[in-house]
Amino acid sequence: MEQERLHPEATGELSNLLYDLCLAAKIISRHVRRAGLSDILGPAGAVNVSGDLQQKLDLFANETVRQSVQYTGRVCVTASEEDEAPVPVPPGKPVGKYVVLYDPLDGSANIDVNVSIGTIFSIHKRVAKKNGTAGLADCLQVGKKQIAAGYILYGSSTMLVYTTGQGVHGFTLDPTIGEFLLSHPRITTPPVGRYYSVNESNWNRWAPSVQRVVGAFKNGEGKVQPKNARYIGSLVADFHRNLISGGVFLYPAATNYPQGKLRLLYEAAPLALVVEQAGGRATDGCRSILDIVPEDLHQKTPLVIGSRDDVAFAARVIGAETAVPAK
């Protein structure tokens, strides 16, 4: 409603689409809070297109998000980490101008041990003609063209954090009235963070430049402020803590993940838009995440994201090594 007040020329469609996603978040949040009491925990017995073992709650969240947006007349196509191909709006149903890309349940490997998990979403405008069929080309758009992005965190409380390119705002779900209430207006992240978040068990699989970056964060080498290690292993949870308190999250390339592990369209790009609107940065070590042109729906990327100066330091060190020609 506030965005509509600031932009009286707007039709309200985007606001309504965000509200559709809020409905999905409420449904998923309810099931997450009942995990362990109903038959929703455990693996589903299949793997997704990226090779990750699917959990029962993954599949439930995937279908919940799609059903919440697909029949509203506001969306033309959706794409998810859990599906091999884009899913256009079914024939005979109203088709809208928006594209929704999403990771339905990030960190789902932690579901069984009650660790915070989340939903990540990205919204683009369609590029296909209005009377044409929306598809892959609508999904393969560069991150800087996103018109909205955000995430829902299912933790001690359920929070929606989003941006439409006019700053970052956080809303907390009040379960007594079933609505998201503005709790964190105009979030900004500190330029230098207190924490670094990385899976250090991969140390021997990293390039020397990545080892130098993590070593500097750990020990405060050179002019880098030393940081405390905080790693949950759930991207949304690690990212949210660093966004609020200041910090840097790294999932670099490694010998077992030469292209990185995180998905560009469903994870890296939407969180990059959020962090940059909050004053931070996001890079693959050489390029801004928002400048990477996707070539594949499930394309993976290395990711360094968080406080501005910390990410800039990592990019300088990693980028310098990458720029040296191999002998």
Q: Which residues are catalytic?
A: 52, 58, 81-82, 103, 105-106, 267
DSSP 295: -
Cα–Cα distance, 72 to 230 (Å, whole number): 40
* One-letter amino acid of 176: T
Q: Say if CB 14 and CB 21 are below 8 A apart.
A: no
Q: Say if CB 268 and CB 226 are below 8 A apart.
A: no
> How many other C-beta atoms lie within 10 A of the C-beta of residue 100?
27
Cα–Cα distance, 280 to 247 (Å, whole number): 10
Query: With 0-12 CB in 10 A as exposed, 13-18 as middle and 19+ as buried, what is 185?
Result: exposed
Cα–Cα distance, 236 to 86 (Å, whole number): 23
> What's phi and psi for 69, nearest 5 deg?
-115, -20
Q: How many residues does the chain have?
A: 327
> How many other C-beta atoms lie within 10 A of the C-beta of residue 7?
14
In sequence order, what are the residues at sequence separation of 6 or more whose Cβ sits closer than 8 angstroms to the Cβ of residue 315? Answer: 281, 283, 285, 286, 304
Q: For 155-176, give one letter per residue: b (16+ CB within 10 A) or e.
A: beebbbbbbbeeebbbbbbeee
Cα–Cα distance, 327 to 324 (Å, whole number): 9
